[in-house]
Structure formats: C-alpha cells, structure tokens
C-alpha cells in the first residue's frame, strides 16, 4: 500500500494506473475511520482496479467555533485498517501541500442547495468541502467517487459541483452504515460520553417513527416532523438544531411527503453535533 502526501506525485501514480487501463475508485475521508468508511472502501474495491483513500482533516470546512481541534486523529490505526482492506494507495497531504502560501482559489456553491439543513448553521462549510474535494479529485483523477448517504447535503452539493465543473467522475452514494442500535456511524461518536452514546440512537429511532407514520398514510410533512420531534424531545439531553423534510436531490423544503423525500436532522448531544437522515 502506497502512502503519498504530494498531490503531484499522486497524480503521477494515478496516470500510471490510467495508462495501464486500470480503473480508479476514490474514497475521501477525514480519517478516524469506522465501519461506515470501510463500507465505502469495500464498495470501491469491488468495482475498481485501484482503490484510493484520502485522509485529510480539512481546516477550510470547519468554522472558527467548530471542532477542528477536537476532531479525532488516528492516522496509524487508519493506515492499518486500510492495509487490511488491501487498499492500493492512501493520499495523506499536509496543510502546506493542500494550501501553500499564495493559495488563492475557492470553489463556492450558491443557491437552494446551500439554503437549508446544515448550511445556515455552518457558514462556509460547503465551500470548504467543495474546494477540498475538487482539489482531491484533481490530484487523484479517479473514475468513481464514493460518498456516504449520511452526509446527504454534502452528497447533493458535491454532485452539483462535479456536474457544474464538468469533472469527469461518477459519484457512487452508499447507504448509511449504523451501529446495532441504529446510531449512524460517525467519527464524532467517539466523543460522546457513555451516557450520550446510550441516548444517541434516539435520532434514528425517531426518524423510523416518522417513516412508519408515512407508511400508515400520513402525507403532511408538518405532522410527520412533529411526531419525530416529540420522540427526540423525550430525551432532555438532546437539542435539535434542525429537522426538515426536503427533496432528496434539490434539498428544497417540501410540505407533502412523496417518494424521493428525505427527512434530515442535526442535533447536539454532549456538545457533539450529530446528523442523520432517512429517505422515504
């Protein structure tokens, strides 16, 4: 397994694969790998000759009051996991390699995709994500990009950016991987207290309650969201940041539940921000 930090060196590696007609799949991560990441890696390995994983905690996508400093960093453990998964190469650039002196370019996303959900609470976040992913796609030049449905707004934004900039990569979205009790896997789960960890599955439990109400025939988004909110608010330690019903592709708010609708939420628990979503 190659571990490379220089974007230009990585590009040379990718071009060698391309010349040898090997397909390249790419899983971008911020490290602190869990089964959710490994699921993406496995999906990637199945379809591509070379699987590339990047590990980079991107400062651009954290706000000044966010958890950049506290974000878990477990590089050696991550590399061991990826080696066990028989990944061909890991891209681990430094901040200096990603944003050298004189760096002057930003990929910015405008419009309804960044009008709701996480965006109002994380100003600049999706521009930071778009910028780093365009850079990573530049260095890796993959055929396929693997993203997890848990980060639904990120998925919608990146699909749009890739289309808008004519970047020649196919995006593959894999379902959210969950703990046995339903909690969506996230590197941030590590930061929960024991008590918080026990409470956290309420988020998915509540989303499933919402889905079952829809299955019973409810079509008013307001009603469904209200029932979900009740379930979560039974847990006093959980603070909902947002809870919305949106079109899964455009992320536009919806009032009537139809197929292709996503219910998404963010909530604080133990000062840790967790997100989850369910597609109806």
Would you please indicate which residues are annotated as catalytic (active-site) residues?
37
- Minimum CB separation of residue 46 from its own copies in Å reads 23
Residues 91, 4 contacting (CB under 8 angstroms):
yes
CB neighbours of 136 closer than 8 A, spacing ≥ 6? 26, 28, 54, 56, 91
Q: How far apart are CA 23 and CA 25, in angstroms?
A: 7
Q: Of the ranges 65-73, 136-144, 223-231, 256-264, which one interacts with its own copies (CB under 8 A)? A: 136-144
109 binds its own copies (CB under 8 A): yes
Handedness of CA 30, 31, 34, 38 (dihedral sign): positive
- Minimum CB separation of residue 136 from its own copies in Å reads 8
Q: Considering CB under 8 A, how many residues would be counted as binding its own copies? A: 35
Neighbours of 54 (CB within 10 A): 24
Nearer to its own copies, 128 or 210 (CB): 128
Give the residue, chosen from 59, 63, 168, 260, that forms a contact with its own copies under the rule CB under 8 A. Answer: 168
Nearer to its own copies, 103 or 268 (CB): 103
Give the residue, chosen from 7, 124, 182, 196, that forms a contact with its own copies under the rule CB under 8 A. Answer: 7
Give the residue, chosen from 63, 80, 96, 103, that forms a contact with its own copies under the rule CB under 8 A. Answer: 103
141 binds its own copies (CB under 8 A): yes
- Minimum CB separation of residue 103 from its own copies in Å reads 5
Question: In the numeric block, which tokens belong to residue 106?
Answer: 């930003």
Distances (CA, A) of 87 to 32, 54, 151: 16, 11, 23
- Minimum CB separation of residue 198 from its own copies in Å reads 40
CB neighbours of 65 closer than 8 A, spacing ≥ 6? none
Q: Across-strand partners of 263?
A: 245, 278
Neighbours of 266 (CB within 10 A): 21
Distances (CA, A) of 209 to 150, 205, 213, 244, 278: 18, 6, 6, 15, 11
Nearer to its own copies, 59 or 168 (CB): 168
Convert residues 18-57 into a mask of x (bound to its own copies by CB under 8 A) and - (unbound). Answer: xx-x------------------------------------
Kindly list the residues in this chain that would bind its own copies in the complex (CB under 8 A). Answer: 7-8, 11, 15, 18-19, 21, 102-114, 130, 134-136, 138-139, 141, 160-161, 164-168, 250
């Amino acid at each position: 397994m190659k571990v490379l930090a220089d974007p230009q060196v990585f590009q040379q590696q990718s071009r060698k694969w391309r010349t040898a007609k090997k397909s390249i799949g790419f899983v971008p991560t911020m490290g602190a790998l869990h089964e959710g990441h490994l699921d993406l890696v496995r999906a990637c390995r199945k379809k591509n000759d070379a699987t590339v994983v990047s590990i980079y905690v991107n400062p651009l996508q954290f706000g000044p009051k966010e958890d950049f400093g506290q974000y878990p960093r477990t590089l050696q453990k991550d590399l061991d996991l990826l080696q066990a998964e028989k990944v061909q190469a890991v891209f681990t650039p430094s901040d200096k390699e990603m944003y050298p002196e004189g760096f002057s370019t930003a990929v910015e996303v405008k419009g309804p995709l960044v009008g709701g959900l996480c965006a109002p609470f994380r100003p600049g976040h999706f521009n930071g994500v778009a910028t780093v992913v365009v850079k990573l796609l530049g260095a890796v030049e993959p055929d396929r990009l693997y993203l997890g449905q848990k980060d639904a707004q990120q998925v919608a934004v990146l699909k749009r950016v890739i289309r808008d900039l004519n970047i020649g990569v196919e995006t593959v979205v894999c379902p959210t991987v969950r703990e046995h009790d339903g909690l969506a896997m996230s590197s941030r789960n590590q930061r929960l207290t024991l008590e918080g960890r026990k409470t956290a599955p309420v988020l998915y439990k509540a989303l499933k309650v919402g889905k079952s109400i829809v299955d019973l025939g409810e079509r008013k988004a307001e009603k469904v969201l209200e029932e979900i909110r009740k379930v979560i608010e039974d847990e006093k330690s959980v603070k909902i940041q947002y809870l919305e019903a949106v079109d899964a592709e455009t992320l536009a708010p919806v009032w009537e539940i139809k197929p292709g609708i996503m219910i998404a939420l963010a909530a604080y628990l133990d000062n840790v921000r967790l997100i989850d979503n369910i597609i109806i």
